[in-house]
Chains A and B, each alone.
Chain A
Amino acid sequence: MDTLLSQILNSLFYASILFLIACGLSLVYGVMRIVNMAHGNLYAFGAYVAAWTVGLVAGRLPDVNPVVLFVLLLAGALAAGAAGAVLEPTLLRPLYKRAEEYQLLMTFGLLLVLEDVMRLLWGPHPLTASVVSDALPSVSLLGLTYPGYNLFVIVIGGVAALALWAFVYRTRFGVMLRATSQDMRMASALGINVKRVYVQAFTIGCLMAGLGGAVVMPISGAVLGMGVDALVLAFVVVVIGGLGSLEGALVGALIVGFVRTLGIMYFAEVELAVLYLIAAIVLFVRPAGLFARA
């Protein structure tokens, strides 16, 4: 019983992280029709910046209020968002008129460059700041010991999903975003500043990736290679959910989260294959993903 509860929470925890990574990827594709390969390393960048900031402050001020450290995690999200705001107009905008391959090459190149930048800035060793997760003690429920911080991450994932939904479907900017996503030329003809919508959408996508990296950092650390790993998983999520759909990202993340846990529990030998199998089945039944628009 406690194992079941623990694994359900683990699955939700993993789904939260996956959603934070995948929603940005999906949002950017939905609005701009760009598959942003660099997304994985913007997630890693968020983790590194958060670890570095928290480490700096916690090192200087050992008695600092833990709430401050939680707020400092936002530095990772902001840094990744700021990087997005710079990258879109400078490196991506010149390529919109070209074939998709150019955008893929550019974002893939960015993925590699960012990886090297992080190694140059922070070295090859894992960067950790578990002082944040230590601030939330493990809780006991129904005879089960569960890390408090993991519960916090589940809440963040849920809140992020709600906030994004409200943002896209209940605000004026959301309407512009969806209009641009449905027909860029028509939106432009109706007076929407498409350039601005693009840079804002890209920034929000990167911000979400950075937030994902920042919240996962206290328990996983910031390590080289985490971005590529996350990118692959995010692709599995959006392939299942449908590229460009926020609901799809949420459902995809939940499916991957639970299936991975089931795989680990009962098919340990093929843990990774199970995920790709699910993606393959979904592609077979609904080639555009579960929530794709026609």
Chain B
Amino acid sequence: MLAHHSFTTTAELKGEHHMVPEVSRRQFMERFGITIGALGAGASSLLLPGTAQAQTPAPGPKPKGNIPDKPYKTGHMTFFTGPAAVLGEPSYKGHMLAAEEINAQGGLLGKRKIETLKADEAAGTDANVKELRRMKLSENIDCFTGVISSGNTPALGPVAEELKVLTLFDDGCTDFLFEKAVPNPHYVFRVTNIQSADGIMAALAASTAWPKITKIAHIHPDYSYGRNAFDHFNIAMKKLSGNIEVVSEAWPKLGTTEFTAHITKTISAKPDLLFCSVWGGDYVALYKQALKYDLYKKMKVATTLAFGVAPHALGKDHPEGIVAGVHANYHFLYPAGNKWPLNAQFVKKYYERWKEYPNFEAEGAYTSLYMLKMPVENANHLVGGWPEDDAIIAMLEGLMYESPAGYVYIRPDNHQGYKDAITGFAMQSKDYPFPIHDPKRVITVPIRSITAPPGYAKGEPTTTYKWIDETWPRVS
């Protein structure tokens, strides 16, 4: 392992630092496996009631041995109050939908009903750590799930390891978690994509659509997520577009809903492109204000989370043609139609249960619980009875799971879930009361093309940043 590790680094360093290879844009796209558009059936086929039949997932194989009928306790921590409740509520709804479905079949292995304890992530990092301890020590939870903020997973991860509690984070997607905070995870897993993918996907989409952009303006929330988006967008753009120039920066506090001065500053810098990772209610306020200043007529715009928060949070006035990110993760219209029936089924079930469309948190929390169910069944099949946590963990490592969003692969070395990243261009459609991605221009990228591979020497600010800097060719 160690030998392989250092071999890779030296080779890469030697190969790239002396001579940055140049490739054409077309070669680049082919080499990276970037796919644009051609979604087959098109977006409208997901309209409800859809063509896909909502099915109850088939029960697993018949359990072996004696299974206790004691409830399986999960602690689900997410934002139930404050501005981030806009993400927290779908997370809880996704979790509950999966729990209800599994319980309708008798529970895990047909015997152990899933019982969910809620915890409000808005309590703050210290309180969240205490709550995790309490849930393990007093409530004796079997599994810990949820968590949205990237500020919280690095604090909760080490404690989960210490408490030896099986943990499936749905989000809190900072690269930092498995690079620094929990470098050798045993009990901790994370299901959704990695933060660095957000900035890189926006750069790929923007440079593909508008190859000539060089002058970039930034507006980001002033915390780790905004910084991460800023760094990774810039390093990817450096490779994709050559000489980029950052002409304006604005760092509003998370929770800002008054952007007039930021907008004027951005416009006055005359950029080709505005890149922005503002999200939630902040984003809604930003786009509504930017419209009034004619910002969208003066520059191209790329975002990381415009469509991520909730499909129905945006209005018919949302501008078209901008790169509308979904946290590089999941949008309910993709994979489209019957191309990937699991998605159509999930969307239909979620809509019927909660009367709204799912976002990436809903899909992540739903998938997490099913990614627990499958290893439990596999481990039971091998050893019989209720499996020990270590047996479940062994089955989770390297698991390839078919989620509504596509295949998710749990890398055994860092316990991170990997799935293809997605973004697209905003379009108003008569089929939905909110904007969707233009079905002809959805961009998907194999996650391995935009994330540092196993064993790559760690770097700053993230390993992926260093990997891009050292190994990506430059588009000529």
Binding site for B on A (CB under 8 A): 2-3, 6-7, 10-11, 13-14, 17, 115-116, 119, 123-126, 128, 130, 133-134, 138, 145-147, 149-150, 216, 219-221, 223-226, 229, 260-261, 264-265, 268-269, 271-272
Contacts and interface: CB of A to CB of B under 8 A. Distances in A.
B261 A260 contact: yes
28 contacts: A3-B267, A13-B260, A123-B89, A124-B86, A124-B89, A126-B86, A126-B284, A126-B313, A128-B288, A138-B294, A145-B293, A147-B293, A216-B257, A219-B288, A220-B257, A223-B281, A223-B282, A223-B285, A225-B255, A225-B281, A226-B83, A226-B255, A260-B261, A264-B252, A268-B250, A269-B249, A271-B222, A271-B250
Contact of B281 (A13, A147, A224, A261): A224
B81 interface: yes
Contact of B280 (A11, A223, A272): A223
B308 interface: no
Contact of A225 (B82, B292, B313): B82
A218 to B, nearest CB: 8
Given A3-B264, A10-B261, A223-B284, A229 B86 contact: no
Contacts, number: 123
Given A147-B292, A223-B281, A268-B251, A124 B256 contact: no
A147 B258 contact: no
Contact of B265 (A13, A14, A265): A265
Q: Which of B82, B251, B261 has the most CB of A within 10 A?
A: B261
A45 to B, nearest CB: 16
Interface string B231-260: 000000000000000000111110111101
Nearest to A130: B288
B310 interface: yes
Interface in B371-427: none
Nearest to A222: B281
A128 B315 contact: yes
Given A126-B284, A145-B294, A272-B222, A10 B260 contact: yes
Given A138-B294, A221-B285, A119 B81 contact: yes
Interface of B: 81-83, 85-86, 88-89, 222, 249-253, 255-258, 260-262, 264-265, 267-268, 280-282, 284-285, 288-289, 292-294, 310, 312-313, 315, 317
Contact of B253 (A126, A150, A271): A271
A6 B288 CA distance: 17
Contact of B261 (A14, A116, A149, A224): A14
A277 to B, nearest CB: 15
Chain A facing B: main interface SS: helix
Given A221-B281, A226-B83, A264-B262, 8 more contacts: A3-B267, A13-B260, A145-B294, A221-B284, A223-B257, A224-B85, A229-B256, A269-B249
B333 to A, nearest CB: 19
A219 to B, nearest CB: 6
A125 B310 contact: yes
A134 B315 CA distance: 13
Contacts of B262: 264
A220 B292 contact: no
Contacts of B85: 119, 124, 224
A264 B264 CA distance: 10
Contacts of A126: 86, 280-281, 284-285, 313
Given A128-B284, A271-B222, A226 B257 contact: yes
Given A223-B280, A271-B251, A7 B288 contact: no
Nearest to A137: B292
A180 B208 CA distance: 68
Nearest to B313: A125
B261 A7 contact: yes
A10 to B, nearest CB: 4
A223 B279 CA distance: 12
Q: Which 7 A-B pairs have the closest CB atoms?
A: A223-B281, A225-B83, A147-B292, A124-B85, A220-B257, A3-B268, A126-B281
A221 B288 CA distance: 9
Contacts of A3: 264-265, 267-268
B261 A265 contact: yes
A249 B328 CA distance: 45
A17 B312 CA distance: 28
